[in-house]
Amino acid sequence: MLFQNREGSIPASWAWKKIMRFAIITVAVIGFAALLWPSSPPRYNAMHAYSNVTISSNVECDLDVEMLHRLDVRKLVAYTRREMVLDFTADPLPIRQGIKQPLLDTKWKPSASEPEPGQSLDGCTVRTPMQVQVVQPPKMAVAPHIDFGVATSIGRLNDSLDQFAHWAGYTRTRIFALIEPDETKEGVAYVRAKAENLGINLLITESEDDYLHRYFALIPLLEEHTREQTQWACIIDDDTFFPSMSALVDALAKYDHTKPMYIGGLSEGTPQIAVFGIIAFGGAGVFLSRPLLSDLATVYDECEQMTYTGDRRIANCIYQYTTTRMTIDHRLHQLDLMKDASGFFESGRELPLSVHHWKSWFNADMPKLSVISELCGDTCLLRQWQFSDGYLLTNGFSVVKYGFPPESGDLSMEMTWEPHNGANQESYLHELGPLRRKDEMKESYLLQDAKVEGNGHVTQWYVKRDSILGDEVLELSWRKR
Ligand SMILES: *[C@@H]1O[C@H](CO)[C@@H](O)[C@H](O)[C@H]1NC(C)=O
Ligand SMILES: *[C@@H]1O[C@H](CO)[C@@H](O)[C@H](O)[C@H]1NC(C)=O
């Protein structure tokens, strides 16, 4: 109170004097500057402003301002376009391939005798397309033997359809959604229709239970709906994402579905395991073979009384009432990584079977990352090319240049995330090792958008952010050879 009174008690005439003095000085400064200003400022300093986007005059091509808005670019200092041509092969390829050509060096030419490729006339496009090899995509996955269960709300389910479409669309798998009652009723009808359009077999059940009870109630729901071909039931979170359904089907085929099996992933951080236990962490997907599902349905009422809820209740129910133990599949990922998970996605390791937390703990837009699979299948996702100018493309995720490049053949993962819950580097070794320190000098263009174009092209936009100097955009336009 006292403080406020003192502030408020400054006399009005004093404030006016201050404003007048400021105005006079400002006028004088502007006048002086106008006298000294060069009559024509150097061209490279000029910035064009289109609506509220500022474009540096270094950018010599015409750009769609709407597109820049979509990429959330306010100030643009460089724009490079390059055509990427996919060359399919039946032979196996390493996930990371070296290419003896630069990705971004526009002056480069294949040999002295050939004409200078330089930049094309529009000033942004690298004239020579870049040809890269990818493996022949696998056949469309068929998965009527796996049923998925998710406890969520109608709004979140609606938001999840695009990501479900990537892995569940047209695979004949079924997704059972247990949602809180939808008051409007129109929501359910809308979501059902949209799922059908995307080729997703979505079965929605409404329930009065709260979230954690609904989660456990997925067990009897899935058990009730088993059909002859059902081998596996999988409980997921609404942000569990499977990059490749065919990889998942192949991975499950290695386990014996006729025995009671409880398959999942642990947290990547040991402090999380210390809190929650040796359980299949829900975000990675909890896989139950049909015999185990039947066992659990017989002890459902007992387990409903158990203290803990959610994925922990499933684990405790299995451990207390059966002799089945967890089988860890290290490709199923809860992804308990805070803020920046780029080290995980840029590691050049085998494609993960599941990922999670990609729109909460960190940001990596999985549906957009997956757009490129429309052209070259799931085997194309996160595939890497190391170019001679130091740039490393991780397809769908990023284009980076390390300040401290790892030696070739180094499969360590850069620890880019923030340790969580008292973790240190050692806490992550059991799932993610070998690890190396975060590269503070890494230059990163991150995927911001991707689109299937009408002409058999997929376009990806990668953006390098700099809030002071301005952003640089790299547009890759992919087609088959
Ligand atoms: C920039 O303009 C677009 C449309 O012209 C608008 O949607 C957007 O909100 C504007 N952004 C800012 C920061 O003013
Ligand atoms: C579902 O999302 C769309 C936009 O993608 C929105 O127009 C629609 O109102 C949403 N419906 C519900 C039920 O949330």
Pocket test for ligand 2, best of 153, 154, 156, 158 (most atoms within 8 A of CB): 158
- Picking from 211-215, 269-273, 331-335, 402-406, which range would have the lowest pLDDT averaged per residue? 211-215
Contact 297, 233 (CB under 8 A): no
Span 286-293, average pLDDT: 98
pLDDT (tens digit per residue) in 356-378: 999 999 999 999 999 999 999 99
For CA atoms 273, 277, 279, 284, give the dihedral sign.
negative
Q: What is the band of 455 on the pLDDT scale with cuts at 50, 70, 90?
A: confident
Measured in angstroms, how far is the CA atom of residue 237 from the centroid of ligand 2? 20
pLDDT digits (tens, 9 = 90+) for 209-254: 888 789 999 999 999 999 999 999 999 999 999 999 999 999 999 9
Q: Is it the case that residue 6 has pLDDT exceeding 70?
A: no
How many residues are given for the chain? 481
According to the model, what pLDDT value does residue 42 have?
Answer: 38
What's the pLDDT at 26?
Answer: 56
Nearest CA to ligand 2 atom 5: 159
Q: What is the mean pLDDT of residues 147-167?
A: 97
CA 158 – ligand 2 centroid, Å: 6
Q: In terms of Cα–Cα distance, which of 254, 214, 263 is closest to 234?
A: 263
Q: Is 199 in the pocket of ligand 2 (CB under 6 A)?
A: no
C-alpha span between 127 and 113 (Å, rounded): 17
Average pLDDT value over all residues in the chain: 89
Three-state SS at 18: helix
Query: Contact at 8 Å (CB) between 75 and 50?
Result: no
Give, using CA atoms, the residue closest to atom 12 of ligand 1: 52
Contact by Cβ (8 Å): 256, 223? no
pTM: 0.87
**Does residue 265 contact residue 292 with C-beta atoms inside 8 Å?**
no
Q: Which residues line ligand 1 (CB under 6 A)?
A: 51-52, 69
Residue to substitute in 190, 192, 202, 206 for testing ligand 2 pocket (most ligand atoms within 8 angstroms of CB): 190
> 146-328 has which fold?
Spore Coat Polysaccharide Biosynthesis Protein SpsA; Chain A (3.90.550)
Helices (H), 37-136: 65-70
Ligand 1 atom 5 nearest Cα:
51
187 CB under 6 A from ligand 2? yes
